[in-house]
Amino acid sequence: MKRMTSLLTLALGTAILITFSGCLKDKCESTLTYQAYQPVYVKMDEVRNELRTEAPRTLKTPGNIYVYQNYLFIAEHREGIHVIDNSDPSNPTSVSFIKIPGCENMAVRGNILYANSYVDLVSLDISNPLSVQLVCRTNDMFEPLALFEDLGYLVYYEPTTETVERPCDTPIYYYDFGGWGRKDVLFVSESAMQDNASGNANAPVGIGGSMARFTMAANRLYAVGNYDMKVFGLNNEGCATLNNTINLGWGIETIFPYQDKLFIGSSSGMFIYDNSNPDQPTQLAAFAHARACDPVYVSGNTAYVTLRDGTECTGFVNQLDVVNITNITNPVLLKSYPMHHPHGLSINAEEKLFLCEGDQGLKIFDATEWAKIDQRLLSHQNGFFAFDVITLDDKKVAIVVGKDGLRQFDYSNPAQPRELSLIPVQQ
């Protein structure tokens, strides 16, 4: 892996210009402090040999979470996946760490875990989590930001703070870039990041959070990037074949399967796709909203959409939208509720809404009446950062991940949830 620093040409975000007295005759100088990004390159021939099972690690930068049977999988920012035995949510036990360079996203079907390794898709046999085996690797499935013959793939940018001395009359340039994946998904920056299946009944799938970019449905793996959705067919051995790539438009963030539909969250709205033809999903409707980060969760005839602001989200809205999808081709906004800084969410079988509110923790609402959600806050667990949540109805447990760790709550009484365990982040 090589890093190269490019200063003003790769500067993103807000530049803070501090001008001080520099008046020596006609000369004026200033100090410019700004956020720059170092391009990070990888040569896939080198990292493809690094995949392996290791001893358990401590959490450092937790990201997406996934539940399969009694196991909990926690993505570690671009490093791999923690495997946790969660048979007893009050005492989760670290089993192993799967080193997968560049990993950010995952999904599980029938003891096969699918994950990205930078631009590749890997299929892993997790039937023995102490010795995870590579089943298949599908090379070059996800687009890098760029490819250079001498440096390799440009896969992401590492944020740095730069300070330079410069003449006062030097112009300031701002540039933006895009690519496959999202930097904020795994807590690189606060401001910025339930599967179901039909077909092979002998291949159970797991449960992902509302911030997921990978999901399983109709015996397919669906993966959304910044502007497209890739449809992978899965054979009985667990190998994946790219069946289709569908252009979705820019700003795509999340995907959520519900019955024979795919709900796709973007920075400008929610898209609904008919998945009755699994290899060729077709758009049924679009629900536009103010530009903001946008995870989606669906329950019955209602879609719940959270919008939040921030540098990556480029918006100024923090709210929960409740959308009627009874007529799937014409979604209608029922009501918007102002929120603090909403992230991921979940709805349990009893129509309780679990909402991650960033640095204000987790809120639980009674959502049985959409017009009264703001009047029915049942509980508020604070003192931690909440990014995404998965609810397990059979155990009455909510799994909440944030930049300071992973917490589990017993919500048998939603008005008084009880913290069962914490897997902390180690600095």
- Looking at the fold, whether 24 and 72 belong to one and the same domain comes out as no
Q: Which residues does 26 contact at the CB level (< 8 Å), separation at least 6?
A: none
Mean pLDDT across 187-210: 53
Is residue 175 a part of any domain in this protein? Answer: no
Q: Print the domain residue range for 38.
A: 2-42+144-167
pLDDT tens per residue, range 237-290: 999 999 999 999 989 999 999 999 999 999 889 999 999 999 999 999 999 886
Both tokens of 156, joined, read: 């992401």
Do the Cβ atoms of 174 and 311 come closer than 8 Å? no
- Looking at the fold, whether 239 and 382 belong to one and the same domain comes out as yes
What residues pair up with 299 in beta bridges, in sequence order? 302
- Looking at the fold, whether 36 and 102 belong to one and the same domain comes out as no
Is residue 173 a part of any domain in this protein? Answer: no
- Looking at the fold, whether 278 and 154 belong to one and the same domain comes out as no
- Looking at the fold, whether 153 and 231 belong to one and the same domain comes out as no
Provide the whole-model pTM.
Answer: 0.84
Q: What dihedral angle (degrees, nearest 10) is formed by the CA atoms of 405, 188, 205, 327?
A: 110
User: If we measure between CA atoms, which residue out of 243, 246, 221 comes closest to residue 123?
Assistant: 221
Do the Cβ atoms of 364 and 353 come closer than 8 Å? yes
Alpha helices in 287-356 (DSSP H): none
- Looking at the fold, whether 308 and 390 belong to one and the same domain comes out as yes
Is residue 172 a part of any domain in this protein? Answer: no
- Looking at the fold, whether 149 and 289 belong to one and the same domain comes out as no
- How many angstroms separate the CA atoms of 126 and 203, rounded? 13
Do the Cβ atoms of 27 and 153 come closer than 8 Å? no
- Looking at the fold, whether 105 and 19 belong to one and the same domain comes out as no
- Looking at the fold, whether 210 and 266 belong to one and the same domain comes out as yes
- Looking at the fold, whether 268 and 302 belong to one and the same domain comes out as yes
Is residue 220 a part of any domain in this protein? Answer: yes
Q: Cβ-count burial of 190 within 10 angstroms (0-12 exposed, 13-18 middle, 19+ buried)? A: middle
Is residue 174 a part of any domain in this protein? Answer: no
Which residue is listed with tokens 């001395």? 165
pLDDT tens per residue, range 34-62: 778 888 899 999 999 999 999 999 999 99
- Looking at the fold, whether 138 and 269 belong to one and the same domain comes out as yes
pLDDT tens per residue, range 149-195: 888 888 888 888 888 887 876 665 544 443 333 333 322 222 222 34
Q: Cβ-count burial of 240 within 10 angstroms (0-12 exposed, 13-18 middle, 19+ buried)? A: buried
- How many angstroms separate the CA atoms of 397 and 79, rounded? 27
The total of structural domains in the chain comes to: 2
